[in-house]
Structure 1
Amino acid sequence: MSAVYDWLLASASSHEPVQGVLLGLNWTLAESAGGCGFAFSPRQVPRTLGWAGTLAGRPAGELRPWLRSWDAAEAAVGLAVLNAGINARSPCLGEAMPLRGAAPGHLRVFEHFRAQLDGQRVAVIGHYPGLERLWHDLDYQCLERNPQDGDLPDSAAEFVLPQADWVFVTASSLANQTLPRLLELSRQARVVLMGPSLPWLEGWRDFGVDYLAGVRVLDAAAAYRVVAEGGGTRLFAGPVEYALLALNP
């Protein structure tokens, strides 16, 4: 597991201070190195966080290692700070193709790949609201840590992923420490690593990732407001847009 995290932390070289961190209901946002980075917020956060009010002004290099923490709030902060530094300067993001279409913004990745999935065994890691309507004609399996109707528990990954032809993996699995195992189980599949939590790095291909589908920030101030006001999929309605880069076409 440590290889992925060692590589990610070594890829972030910015020592600039963190301007601010916002731990929202759905997204965690960090501002650093002239950019903003996201992570999916933990579902449960203690009422007392010993570091609350102390993060702004601290060096980014001091907070990035929190990504390794088993404390969900610390891991979200670490990932958001990591993304703020990497994604602000990423050549990969500059090469990525914006995804525009008829589907709601948070579902554009699934809309883009739909035509390639007929007759394929498809697994999606993470519950995406509205996907069941967009892919109503496709037989796929959704694995989710907090399962909703029709989802499988994330423990089913050990059985489902080795049989899949395509796997769509939420990058938020970085913060809960499950991504390395998910990628290992998906070695035989075409893998799309996706979501606002994605660090835009070409080296993902060395871990079996075929496509990067992360976000490009269009309006940082609007993104801050959406996160501050508890927004989830609303983030994709103007503040950010999905973009796609093929690593192994």
Structure 2
Amino acid sequence: MLDMWNPWEIYDRLIEQIDPSVRVSACGRAGKWAFVENSEAGAGMAFHMPVESVPRSLPEDVTGLSLREVAAFAKSWNFAEAAVGMAALNSWYALPSRAEAAGFARCQVNNWQNLFDPWAKETAGKRVVVIGHFPFAPAALPAVSELIVLERNTLPGDLPDSAAEYVLPTCDYVFITGSAFVNKTMPRLLELSRGARTIIVGPSSPAAPMLAEYGVDTLTTFSVTDVASFQPALSGHLLGGMYEAGRRIEFHAH
């Protein structure tokens, strides 16, 4: 389990597994996503948070830099910079052949709006927390005894994310958005959720089975299978969006 005295452990372990010889071949932002492509024909994304809390150290153009070097910026307290770091990290783990070898399989439905559907029966009568505002969650989980949504930028009915300290230890199921890797809340959220069935969701999540060692039971993320379509898809130039460039994949620890 996570060493609470070193919340960086989870990031350091993810970063150190990246081959330092792999290079960044493309990098940018498309809509709400930061994206990175690499010389191994991998591609990844992470939720862009426009938070310039500390000066940037990452160059505007990281093309040609070591993928591991760029991925290390996932630890930055400048969240806009950290999103690029996570996208670089995800481009390594989400390579289709690597993800498949690690035990990831295709999700039955290639649409994020359906991500809660497989949990409808299992969560019946349970106290469920969703970290991140997913507007389609209530309809997909109609039989839960209580559905609590934690969100930094609250909408009506949400609790502020600071309620996590009080709420998570009392819940049966916890769904955590992968963007929690970007803002550095993921290590603490996993620690608070250790008594619950914990599911990480979203394209910002690394396809890394070692996350099971930190209490993750299920991990659902995204693997780019057509790098040529990746940037046009994220930019909205393809009708099917990101789904024309790849697929949702999942890993179950138990």
* Structure 2 length-normalised TM: 0.86
2:196 aligned with 1:189: yes
Preserved CA contact (<8 Å) 2:94 2:222: no
Find the aligned partners of 1:186 and 1:172 in 2 and give their Cα distance.
17
Find 1:41's aligned residue among 27, 38, 48. Answer: 48
Counting matched residue pairs gives 243
Identity score, percent: 31
**Helix, strand or coil: the match of 1:23?**
strand
**2:187 counterpart (173, 176, 180):** 180
2 CA distance for matches of 1:202 and 1:185?
20
* Matched residue, 1:123: 129
Opposite residue 2 of structure 1, the aligned amino acid is: W
Please show how residues 51-62 of structure 1 align to structure 2 within 5 Å.
53-62=60-69
Secondary structure of the residue that 1:39 maps to in structure 2? strand
The separation in 2 between residues aligned to 1:14 and 1:87, in whole angstroms, is: 17
Q: CA deviation at 1:20?
A: 0.8
Aligned counterparts of 1:230 and 1:186: Cα–Cα separation in 2: 39
What does residue 165 of structure 2 align with? 158
* Superposition RMSD in Å: 2.5
Q: C-alpha deviations, 1:66-122, integer Å up to 9, x for none? A: 111000111001110111122215245663332234xx8113320011110011110
CA shift, 1:19, in A, is: 0.7
The answer as to whether partners of 1:92 and 1:200 remain within 8 angstroms in 2 is no
The alignment status of 1:90 with 2:124, answered yes or no, reads no
Distance 1:92 1:209, change over 3 A: farther
List runs of 5+ in structure 2 lacking aligned partners.
1-6
- Tell me which amino acid in the other structure corresponds to 1:84: S
1:105 and 1:236 in contact (8 A); partners too:
no
Q: Which of structure 1's runs of 4+ aligned residues deviate more than 6 A?
A: none
Task: Give the equivalent residue in structure 2 for 1:227.
Answer: 234
Contact 1:24–1:227 at 8 Å: present in 2 too?
yes
Question: 2:17 pairs with 8, 11, 25, which one?
Answer: 11
Closer/same/farther in 2, CA of residues 189 and 29 from structure 1, 3 Å limit: same
C-alpha separation between the residues in 2 aligned to 1:5 and 1:126?
21
Cα distance change on mapping 1:211 and 1:187 into 2, 3 Å: same
Q: Secondary structure at the match of 1:61?
A: helix
Distance 2:108 2:182 in 1: 28
- Are the equivalent residues in 2 in contact too, given 1:18–1:58 (CA < 8 A)? yes
Question: Which residue of the partner structure matches residue 107 of structure 2?
Answer: 99
State the distance in 1 between where 2:122 and 2:230 align.
32
Aligned to 2:247, which of 238, 241, 244?
241
Q: Distance in 1 between matches of 2:68 and 2:104?
A: 27
**Quick check: which one's helix share is greater?**
1
SS of 1:123 mapped into structure 2: strand
For normalisation by structure 1, the TM-score amounts to: 0.87
Structure 2 residue aligned with 1:114? 120
Cα 1:223/1:54, change in 2 over 3 Å: closer
Q: Which amino acid aligns with 2:104?
A: A
Q: Deviations over 1:154-177 (max 9, x none)?
A: 101001100011111111111101
Gapped runs of 5+ residues in structure 1? none
Q: Do the aligned residues in 1 keep the contact of 2:132 with 2:176 (CA within 8 Å)?
A: yes
